């Protein structure tokens, strides 16, 4: 095995890095109660949690894409005033502890929140609903998509778009037939990352949306609850999340490598 | 020469500072580590000060968490001398794990209470459908002690509760009530005392029947069994009962 | 005005560019100049990528830029073909070429017909179903040219279209462009550094220097009688710009150059041009007929085909070149920095108004 000119000793810290992640994951896999797995995974609570997680993550990811792509393109290609401030704010959820994100959502959409009061007058109550779960997930996942798409758009530049305009394509046509297809790889990986983040979202959901089977108790919340009395069930559901996460990562990685190879 | 001595002194001081955190250093104080349910925070901290006064040179450190978490930590080998849980079922698990010695003794009881945010914005008058009148009710999940108690209460009263959220800990339930997010919540009477003016209590007949009994026990791994037992004595004795009653606990 | 496909008189002060450009319909104009002369700015003003701070732009009789007027690029009917093909990787060649017509509203089937016709015109019909990544640089550029022609623009702008190609591919594509632009009667502006491009493609040449147009005219005229340094370099002649000194001579700073004629005006801008091959290099003033003896300091020697080009600079700063055989150079024993004499027969000098 060649280390490509790197000093041999870099293998040591690199290996430590792999073990840091690998051993706990392996440890979890070893504790899985394989015999009881089917029963644990198909209980009503588990299925409710899984279905809720999948549909809220899908809805939140869709929301993130619809809002995030225009934002990313504007940030990448225009010189709007305050762009820096906007970018900083949009990337905040990356760094904030999810609980803080949940609190922020509460102060806005909670019953006594900034917008919550107005919404209550209109008869709209967001807290404790599935909508709240979608909001919480979208809040924490948006920066992933914006980062991915903005970076790619910035690198790609607008040369194709300029040529397309001279060929007679109006701005919307250019966006639809040139920009989005060219950004498809970055969009795909950004969407996958966002979806993964939605699936794994916990702190903001718990703080803002609450926890009720079938309504707001997503897979991570279900695991958190099962820990109290049934560690086996918690491990079984953890396995489910690990498998979903791995599948998403593999899907994203495969795309990345193919693109690099095509060059 | 004097520089070397100064450096040596600095090294000793640094090592000494590192040492007091671990509990295994040759510190002049005795240490007692108590794992206790979250609802015992205020009353145990008070009793802790009394304990130190009674046993000079002793330092009591607490770790407050959900009862199930504490039992799991003990099982995983966390160093502790005393365990106090919020219900007997959880303590039974510790007994089965073999992480506590002797017979656990019940030292307190906690009853459920229905609380609403100050000002009772939803006009809640009871736990039944009429009394709640569609208000958003938050309770603990059945998997945790306060949630199990809520289930029992509902069963006793012949009610089918439809909460909007089932939290993992009673602290979260209380938090949602005090913030006004929940219009009603089932918490312990001790939590109502702690929350003070932030909440109002809505009396519900039958709550006094459903109590969680709090057991305390010495852990099998205790450094100093005598000291640990002294804590139990304090908690079970007159000072303990006074403190517990003041905090809203019932005493057996 | 109505005969002009493009009429540009606009300025972009922050780039130091003020350009006037008229392109009659059906003509191909070569836009030449050193890097940074403002050629890309001129193209950007025409295509609509850049908005002029002053002045206006007219395309086929319609004002597209100017005070109170603005037509965005996608409505100007001007196609742009850059140095890089910039084909859309997710469409095949025919799809790329059909992009323009489809964007303008043509149906899918008809647009494909148009695309195949244009690909046929540039000799790339057999590439119709291939993806850009399966094509060579030259093939991609062919498709890009077809793509620029497909929406039937009023004007085609080409920014150094052959610069990224190797000599053979460039030669092939030059012929393609010649057929597609000049012979087909399309209107185009071609930015280029290559004399071959100018000769093959252009009806007229516009020379830019430091953000301004310094010379323009029919190709033959600009190349035989250049009036700007860049045009002279492009044409490969020595050019001295000064004023008429009477008796068919031109004064350029401290030098006087005599042309073949005996009479001529006095005063007024004048140019004297002669080929480097007409220059002989001497160490001492020769006797005999040559009337033009210019003292220069040798500033460089370089290979020029089978000859050696001796570059020199006169005391008044005029830069000249002489092409001599290696044998002559060897017998002279020249080195850089030496003072020598460039001698030119008056008969070889062309004098004309600048």
C40-77 residue pLDDT tens: 999 999 999 999 999 999 998 899 998 888 999 999 99
- Given a contact cutoff of 8 angstroms between Cβ atoms, the answer to whether C326 and C308 are in contact is yes
Tell me the per-residue pLDDT of C106-130, one tens digit each, with 9 for 90 and over: 999 999 999 999 999 999 999 999 9
What subunits make at least 3 CB pairs under 8 angstroms with B?
A: A
Q: What is the pTM of this model?
A: 0.79
Q: Does the structural domain A41-256 have CATH classification 3.30.300.30?
A: no
Q: Which residue of A has its CA nearest to B171?
A: A207
pLDDT at C161: 92
The enclosing domain of C59 has a CATH number of: 3.40.50.300
Mean pLDDT computed over A182-196: 93
DSSP letter for C281, please: E
A182 to chain C: which residues are within 8 Å by CB? 88-90
Q: Which domain holds residue B122?
A: 110-211
Q: What residue has token string 């079984």?
A: A236
SS3 letters across C66-114: ECCEECCHHHCCEEEECCCCCCCCCCCHHHHHHHHHHHCCCCHHHHHHH
Of B66, B136, B167, Cβ closest to residue A211:
B167
Residue B25 has pLDDT above 60, yes or no: no
Closest CA to A49 of B144, B141, B155: B141
The token duo for A171 is: 């701005």
Q: Which residues are CB-contacts of B162 (< 8 A; sequence separation ≥ 6)?
A: B137
Please state, for a pLDDT cut of 90, what percent of chain A lies above it.
63
Question: C140-156 pLDDT, tens per residue?
Answer: 999 999 999 999 999 99
Q: What is the DSSP string of A79-111?
A: --TTHHHHHHHHHHHHHS-HHHHHHHHHHHHST
Instruction: Determine what percent of chain A is predicted with pLDDT higher than 70.
Output: 95
Q: What is the DSSP string of C27-74?
A: -EEEEEESTTSSHHHHHHHHHTSS--SEEEEEETTEEEEETTEE--GG
Same domain, C188 and C254: no
Domain boundary among C196, C229, C262: C229
Instruction: Kindly identify which residue of chain B lies nearest to residue A116, measuring between CA atoms.
Output: B181
The structural domains of chain A, with segments of one domain joined by +, span 41-256
Chains that touch C (3 or more CB pairs under 8 A): A
Please state the rounded mean pLDDT for residues A85-105: 91
The token pair at C327 is 């044998």
Which pLDDT belongs to residue C3? 66
* Predicted pLDDT of residue A126: 84
Q: Using CA of residue B193, residue B198, residue B204, residue B210, what is the dihedral sign?
A: negative
Q: At which of C176, C195, C229 does a domain end? A: C229
Q: Which two tokens stand for residue A211?
A: 């926890």
What average pLDDT does chain C have?
90
Residues of C in contact with A259 (CB under 8 A): none
- Could you list the beta-strand ranges (E) of A51-197: none
Give the phi and the psi of residue B181 in degrees, each rounded to 5: -65, -40
Q: What percent of chain C has pLDDT over 70?
A: 99
- Between the CA of residue C42 and those of A49, A162, C21, C210, what are the distances in Å? 62, 15, 8, 12
Do C317 and C334 have their domain in common? yes
Q: Does B134 touch chain A (CB under 8 A)?
A: no
For helices A184-200 and A130-156, angle between their N-to-C axes, nearest 10 degrees:
150
Question: A166–C86: do the CB atoms touch at under 8 Å?
Answer: no
More reliable by pLDDT, C288 or C339: C339
Give the pLDDT band of residue A263 (cuts 50, 70, 90): very low
Interchain pair A127, B181: CB under 8 A: yes
Shared domain check, C51 and C166? yes
B41 CB-contact burial (10 Å; exposed 0-12 / middle 13-18 / buried 19+): middle
Counted domains in chain C: 2
- The whole-number pLDDT of residue C317 equals 80
Tell me how far the alpha carbon of residue B202 is from its chain's centroid.
Answer: 23
Question: DSSP string covering chain B, please?
Answer: -HHHHHHHHHHHHHHHHHHHHHS-S--SSEEEEEEEEGGGHHHHHHHHHHHHHHSTTEEEEEEEE-HHHHHHHHHTT---SEEE-SSHHHHHHHHHHT-EEEEEEEEEEEEEEEEEETT-TT----SSHHHHTT--EEEE-TTSHHHHHHHHHHHHHT-----SEEESSHHHHHHHHHTTSSSEEEEEHHHHHHHGGGEEEE--TTGGG-EEEEEEEEETT-S-HHHHHHHHHHHHSHHHHHHHHHHT-B--
Handedness of CA B180, B183, B185, B190 (dihedral sign): positive
Q: Which among C270, C274, C269 is positioned nearest to C343, based on CA atoms? A: C274
Residue at B63 is within a domain? no
Which letter does DSSP use for residue C337 in this model?
A: T
First to last CA, chain C: 27
Mark whether C125 and C205 lie in a shared domain: yes
Residues in chain A: 263
C47 and C63 inside one domain: yes
Dist. CA B43–CA B240, nearest whole Å:
9
- Single residue among C229, C260, C290 that ends a domain in this structure: C229
State how far the alpha carbon of B45 is from the alpha carbons of A31, B20, C74, in Å.
37, 20, 75
Q: Which of C51, C43, C113 is nearest to C82 (CA)?
A: C43
Is B141 part of the contact surface with chain A (CB cutoff 8 Å)?
yes
Q: How high is the pLDDT of residue B38?
A: 84
Give strand pairing partners of C308: C303, C324
* pLDDT of amino acid B251: 85
Residues of chain B contacting residue A231, judged by C-beta atoms under 8 Å apart: 72
Bridge partners, B139 (sequence order): B166
| Contact at CB, C104 and A168, closer than 8 angstroms | yes
**Strand ranges inside C170-318, DSSP E:** 188-191, 204-209, 212-218, 238-245, 249-252, 255-258, 266-274, 279-282, 292-304, 307-314
Quickly tell me which residue has 């959220």 as its tokens.
Answer: B165
> In the prediction, which pLDDT does A260 show?
45
What is the predicted pLDDT for the residue at C116?
A: 95
Residue C265 has pLDDT above 90, yes or no: no
Same domain, C222 and C336: no
What per-residue confidence (pLDDT) applies to A136? Answer: 95
Mean of the pLDDT values across residues C232-257?
87
**Res B23: pLDDT:** 47
Neighbours, chain A (3 or more CB pairs < 8 A): B, C
Best-predicted range by mean pLDDT (A256-260, B142-146, B151-155, C232-236):
B151-155
CA nearest neighbour of B107 among B33, B175, B37 = B37
Interface mutation target, options B146, B168, B170, B173, chain A, most CBs of A under 10 Å: B168
Let me know if chains B and A touch, i.e. at least 3 Cβ pairs under 8 angstroms.
yes
Q: Looking at residue C319, which CATH number applies to its domain?
A: 2.40.50.100
Give the CA dihedral C69, C70, C75, C77, nearest 10 degrees.
80
- Shared domain for C313 and C348, answered yes or no, is yes
Q: CA-to-CA distance for C111 and C151, rounded, in angstroms?
A: 9
- What does the pLDDT read at residue B2? 63
pLDDT of A257 above 60: no
The helix, strand and coil proportions of chain C, stated in percent and rounded to the nearest 5, come to 30, 35, 35
Q: Give the ipTM of the model, two decimals please.
A: 0.81
Q: Are C348 and C274 spatial neighbours (Cβ–Cβ below 8 Å)?
A: yes
Predicted confidence (pLDDT) per residue in B161-191, tens digit: 999 999 988 888 999 999 889 999 999 988 8
Backbone angles phi, psi at B251, to 5 degrees: -120, 140
Residues of A with CB under 8 A from a CB of C: 159-160, 162-171, 173-174, 177-178, 181-182, 184, 262
Q: Report which DSSP code applies to C180.
A: I
pLDDT in tens, C67-78: 888 999 999 999
**Considering chain B, what is the average pLDDT of its residues?**
87
Distance between CA atoms of A186 and A196, rounded to whole angstroms? 15
Q: How far is CA C290 from CA C282, C286, C349, in A?
A: 12, 8, 11
Q: Count Cα atoms within 13 angstroms, Cβ side, for B167.
A: 25
pLDDT band for B22, please (50, 70, 90 cuts): very low
Of A112, A211, A230, the CB nearest to B141: A211
- Segment C275-280 shows an average pLDDT of 92
User: Are A163 and C47 inside 8 Å of each other by CB?
Assistant: no
**Domain with C120 in it:** 4-229
Q: How confident is the model at residue A79 (pLDDT cuts 50, 70, 90)?
A: confident
Better-predicted residue by pLDDT, A56 or B196: A56
- Give the pLDDT of residue C245: 86
Residue with tokens 């953890």: A238
Residue pointed to by tokens 């992009």: C99
> How much is the pLDDT for A147?
93
What residues are paired with C59 via a beta bridge? C6, C62
Supply φ then ψ for residue C301, to 5 degrees.
Answer: -130, 130
Q: Please list the residues that pair with A83 across neighbouring strands.
A: none
State residue B12's pLDDT score.
Answer: 61
Bridge partners (DSSP) of residue C322 are C310
Tell me if chain A has a CB within 8 Å of the CB of B86: no
For residue B17, the model assigns a pLDDT of 53
Is A164 within 8 Å of C148 when comparing Cβ atoms? no
Strands C188-191 and C155-159: parallel
Q: Find chain B residues with C-beta within 8 A of A216's C-beta.
A: 165
Do C94 and C139 reside in the same domain of the chain?
yes
SS3 assignment, position A201: coil
| Residue in A closest to C46 by C-alpha | A166
Give the tens place of pLDDT for each residue, A15-26. Answer: 999 999 999 999
CA nearest C98 in A: which residue?
Answer: A167
Largest Cα–Cα distance in chain C? 78
Shared domain check, C223 and C264: no
């Amino acid at each position: 095995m060649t280390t490509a000119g790197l000093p041999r000793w870099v293998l040591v810290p690199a290996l430590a890095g792999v073990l840091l992640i690998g051993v706990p994951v392996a440890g979890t896999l070893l504790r899985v109660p394989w015999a009881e797995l089917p029963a644990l995974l198909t209980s009503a609570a588990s299925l409710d949690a899984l279905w809720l997680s999948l549909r809220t993550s899908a809805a939140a990811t869709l929301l993130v894409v619809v809002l995030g792509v225009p934002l990313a393109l504007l940030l990448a290609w225009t010189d709007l005033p305050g762009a820096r401030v906007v970018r900083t704010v949009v990337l905040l959820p990356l760094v904030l502890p999810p609980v803080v994100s949940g609190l922020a959502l509460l102060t806005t959409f909670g019953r006594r929140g900034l917008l919550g009061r107005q919404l209550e007058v209109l008869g709209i109550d967001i807290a404790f609903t599935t909508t709240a779960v979608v909001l919480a997930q979208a809040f924490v996942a948006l920066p992933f998509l914006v980062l991915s798409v903005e970076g790619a758009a910035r690198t790609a530049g607008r040369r194709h778009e300029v040529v397309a305009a001279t060929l007679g394509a109006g701005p919307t046509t250019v966006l639809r037939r040139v920009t989005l297809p060219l950004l498809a790889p970055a969009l795909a990986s950004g969407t996958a990352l966002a979806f993964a983040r939605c699936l794994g979202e916990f702190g903001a959901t718990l703080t803002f949306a609450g926890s009720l089977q079938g309504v707001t108790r997503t897979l991570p919340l279900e695991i958190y609850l099962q820990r109290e009395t049934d560690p086996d069930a918690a491990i079984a559901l953890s396995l489910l999340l690990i498998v979903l996460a791995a599948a998403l990562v593999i899907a994203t990685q495969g795309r990345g490598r193919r693109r690099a190879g095509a060059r | 020469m004097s520089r070397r001595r100064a450096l040596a002194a600095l090294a000793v001081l640094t090592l000494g500072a590192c040492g007091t955190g671990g509990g295994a250093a040759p510190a002049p104080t005795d240490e007692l580590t108590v794992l206790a349910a979250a609802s015992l925070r205020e009353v145990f901290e008070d009793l802790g000060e009394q304990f130190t006064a009674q046993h000079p040179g002793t330092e009591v450190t607490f770790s407050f968490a959900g009862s199930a978490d504490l039992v799991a930590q003990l099982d995983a080998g966390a160093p502790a001398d005393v365990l106090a849980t919020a219900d007997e079922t959880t303590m039974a698990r510790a007994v089965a794990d073999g992480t506590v010695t002797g017979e656990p003794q019940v030292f307190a009881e906690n009853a459920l209470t229905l609380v609403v945010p100050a000002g009772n914005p939803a006009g809640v008058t009871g736990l039944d459908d009429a009394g709640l009148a569609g208000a958003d009710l938050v309770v603990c999940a059945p998997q945790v002690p306060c949630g199990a108690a809520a289930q029992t209460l509902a069963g006793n009263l012949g009610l089918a509760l439809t909460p909007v959220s089932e939290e993992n800990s009673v602290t979260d339930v209380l938090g949602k009530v005090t913030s006004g997010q929940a219009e009603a919540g089932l918490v312990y009477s001790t939590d109502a005392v702690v929350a003070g003016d932030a909440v109002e209590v809505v009396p519900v007949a039958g709550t006094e029947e459903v109590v969680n009994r709090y057991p305390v026990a010495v852990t099998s791994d205790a450094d100093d069994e005598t000291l640990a037992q002294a804590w139990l004595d304090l908690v079970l004795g007159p000072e303990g009962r006074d403190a517990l009653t003041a905090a809203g606990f019932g005493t057996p | 005005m109505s005969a002009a496909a493009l009429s540009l008189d606009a300025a972009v002060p922050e780039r130091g560019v003020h350009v006037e450009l008229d392109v009659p319909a059906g003509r191909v104009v070569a836009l030449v100049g050193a890097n940074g002369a403002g050629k890309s700015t001129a193209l950007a003003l025409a295509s609509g990528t850049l908005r002029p701070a002053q002045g206006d732009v007219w395309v086929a009789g319609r004002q597209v830029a100017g005070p109170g007027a603005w037509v965005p690029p996608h409505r100007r009917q001007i196609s742009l073909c850059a140095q890089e093909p910039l084909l859309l990787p997710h469409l095949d060649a025919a799809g790329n070429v059909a992009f323009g017509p489809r964007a303008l509203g043509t149906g899918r089937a008809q647009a494909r017909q148009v695309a195949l016709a244009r690909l046929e015109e540039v000799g790339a019909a057999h590439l119709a179903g291939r993806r850009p990544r399966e094509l060579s640089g030259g093939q991609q550029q062919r498709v890009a040219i077809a793509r620029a022609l497909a929406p039937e623009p009023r004007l085609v702008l080409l920014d150094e279209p052959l610069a990224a190609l190797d000599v053979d591919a460039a030669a092939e594509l030059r012929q393609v462009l010649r057929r597609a632009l000049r012979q087909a009667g399309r209107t185009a502006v071609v930015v280029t550094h290559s004399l071959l491009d100018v000769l093959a493609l252009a009806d007229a040449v516009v020379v830019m220097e430091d953000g301004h147009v310094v010379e323009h005219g029919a190709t033959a005229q600009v190349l035989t009688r250049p009036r700007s340094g860049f045009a002279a370099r492009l044409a490969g002649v020595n050019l001295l710009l000064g004023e008429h000194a009477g008796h068919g001579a031109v004064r350029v700073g401290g030098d006087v150059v005599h042309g073949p004629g005996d009479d001529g005006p006095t005063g007024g801008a004048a140019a004297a041009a002669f080929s480097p091959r007409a220059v002989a290099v001497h160490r001492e003033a020769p006797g005999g007929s040559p009337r033009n003896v210019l003292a220069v300091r040798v500033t460089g020697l370089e290979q020029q085909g089978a000859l050696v080009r001796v570059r020199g600079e006169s005391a008044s700063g005029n830069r000249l070149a002489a092409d001599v055989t290696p044998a002559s150079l060897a017998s002279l024993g020249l080195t850089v920095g030496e003072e020598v004499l460039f001698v030119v027969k008056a008969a070889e000098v062309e004098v004309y108004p600048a």
